[in-house]
A and B are shown apart, each in its own frame.
Chain A
């Protein structure tokens, strides 16, 4: 938001308001006249899509809270009351439950886009950190939200993940007891999770404001990674970016609607339709899909404390990324080796997701006998997740710092407009 404002109040009222609270000026400068690199592709539409997701989750969440009755004895039945008796309750709850998954799909695409095009590199470190913070709060919110229906997966997920915090030597037990408000996951736990689940989305919204503020200070990155140098490199946000964002949002909503109306159970887990029972563990506890890669990293390491540290470390790598990457070039478009490593990284994340969904000792390739390697069969999900975990950390801690120093990037264009013009000429 550097430079002077081009907003000109048109009538007496807007002049009066502008002198007292320049809110229309702020909106004008941020979302209308804001210079946007002209070469942004569809991967750049996910910022707007994420704002839409947050809005949908907050709106449906507030409505659900009007009908939800927190408490071990009432939570499960009140969710079913919403699904069966509340007018349009099934719709609103399906949107909220599916919306969590859609939110994470969008956020992962948004983050991978940032990784690929180097959007975390100077001067966008704070922008990236705020994004990581949003992602962290999102994970906490989603985790606590999943506990609220108080089904079997809710209960046991809460128990397993809170127990994870008990690994820290000395204070672990005190932390879990404090978190539970008892000797196990119970009504007090559910009540505080509900309270925090209601609070955190508004915290996210606050950090989103900071995220957008930081974005508007440093300006948007773009597929070339080259800073805009002249007016020819940019277009006003409205109508150019808004038109593209609106179209992308509509496409996103189509995918969203397919899940809400035709595949409402696809993202959930059948066991969560059984009321919580503290005496019986489901045969196979899995978190929601968006946590699976981290869950796989947790289970890859046979030591509880080290496993937990690896899991938190995997998220921590994201925060450290701006200082791990040594490349002078932002966009991987001009870094062929980095591009290959990045694609492998994406595939590894998906493989880790599958590892998290399967039982560690089951065979990856059915029927292949394999052989014992240290503590487990080599043809098992646990070994696959170890390989994946190894590459995950290798990517962040070795490849990213080393590659920037050793690789020879392709020639980078002088300006954004130059490859654009070249493209236009090629198209004729």
Chain B
């Protein structure tokens, strides 16, 4: 379909408008067909149906002790499920009005009435390394790659990362069960 380009200097000069119409229509049809053909070849790289089918997982929270963090694999990425102690929650709320790169209240980072459960994407917002839990001067996370420091609410406090650790879409199915994604 590629070389359908018709030359502009046609051999006959009898009826220029009809001639031009045919050439323009043919070229336009070829271009339209080419664009429609390209789409499947681009779209095939998007996640396939089986990948999409596993985009959400359910997790039983009783497996996480207070003060602990469990890392599970979600959409082929680490997901932090942290059971925060009252002290950690208090430390996070205390800093709600401190100067931050990406200001956010602690209550915006967990589900209402579930302050103990912090569920975050375990991927540093700088370049995607996995931050280590409990590191850094705020007791949240510390990214070993380039030294970003997060607090106990997962907010960026120091270092090159521009944003807070992302909160995925999730919901509580019961008091002890969450569905992520």
By a beta-carbon cutoff of 8 Å, the part of chain A in contact with chain B is 31-32, 48, 52, 55, 59, 63, 66-67, 81, 84-89, 91-92, 238-239, 242-243, 245-246, 249-250, 253
CA distance A55 to B3 in the complex (A): 12
Interface string of B1-19 (1 = CB under 8 A from A): 1111111001100000000
Which residues of the other chain, A, contact B48 by a CB distance below 8 angstroms?
67, 81, 85-87, 89
Determine if B40 and A87 form an interchain contact, defined as CB atoms under 8 angstroms apart.
yes
Q: Are A89 and B44 in contact (CB under 8 A)?
A: yes
Q: Is the interface of A mostly helix, strand, loop or mixed?
A: helix
B45 at the interface (CB under 8 A from A): yes
Interface contact A63-B44, CB-CB below 8 Å? yes
Inter-chain contacts of A67 with B (CB < 8 A): 44, 48
Give the distance in Å from the alpha carbon of A55 to the alpha carbon of B37 in the complex: 13
A246 cross-chain contacts in B, Cβ below 8 A: 3-4, 26
Q: B10 is contacted by which of A84, A239, A242 (Cβ under 8 Å)? A: A239
Roughly how many angstroms separate A52 CA and B30 CA in the complex, as a whole number?
Answer: 14
Task: Please report the C-alpha to C-alpha distance between residue A52 and residue B4 in the assembled complex, in whole angstroms.
Answer: 12
CA of A38 to CA of B74, assembled, Å: 65
Chain B's nearest CB lies how many Å from the CB of A29? 15
Residue numbers in A under 8 Å from B45 (CB-CB): 66
Assuming the contacts A81-B50, A85-B50, asked whether A92 and B44 have C-beta atoms less than 8 A apart, the reply is yes
Confirm or deny: B21 has a beta carbon within 8 angstroms of a beta carbon on chain A: no
User: A92's contact among B4, B11, B41, B49, by CB below 8 Å, is which?
Assistant: B41
The answer to whether B44 touches A88, judged by C-beta atoms less than 8 angstroms apart, is: yes
- Which residues of the partner chain B approach A52 to less than 8 Å between Cβ atoms? 1-2
CB distance from B108 to the nearest CB of A (A): 35
A347 CB, nearest partner CB in chain B, Å: 34
Q: Assess whether B5 is in contact with A242, with CB atoms less than 8 Å apart.
A: yes
Q: How far is the CA of A59 from the CA of B1 in the complex (A)?
A: 14
Whether A249 pairs with B44 at a CB distance below 8 angstroms is no
For B44, give its contact among A81, A84, A86 (CB under 8 Å).
A86
Further contacts, 18 of them, CB under 8 A, given A85-B51, A238-B5? A31-B3, A48-B3, A52-B2, A67-B44, A81-B48, A85-B48, A85-B50, A86-B49, A87-B40, A87-B43, A87-B49, A89-B48, A92-B40, A92-B41, A242-B4, A246-B3, A246-B4, A253-B1
CB distance from A335 to the nearest CB of B (A): 34
- Closest residue of chain B to A247 (Cβ to Cβ) is B4
CB<8 Å pairs between A and B, sample of 25: A52-B1, A59-B41, A63-B44, A66-B44, A67-B44, A81-B48, A81-B50, A85-B48, A85-B49, A86-B49, A87-B40, A89-B48, A92-B41, A92-B44, A239-B6, A242-B3, A242-B6, A242-B7, A245-B3, A246-B3, A246-B4, A246-B26, A249-B1, A250-B1, A253-B1
Q: Are B1 and A243 in contact (CB under 8 A)?
A: no
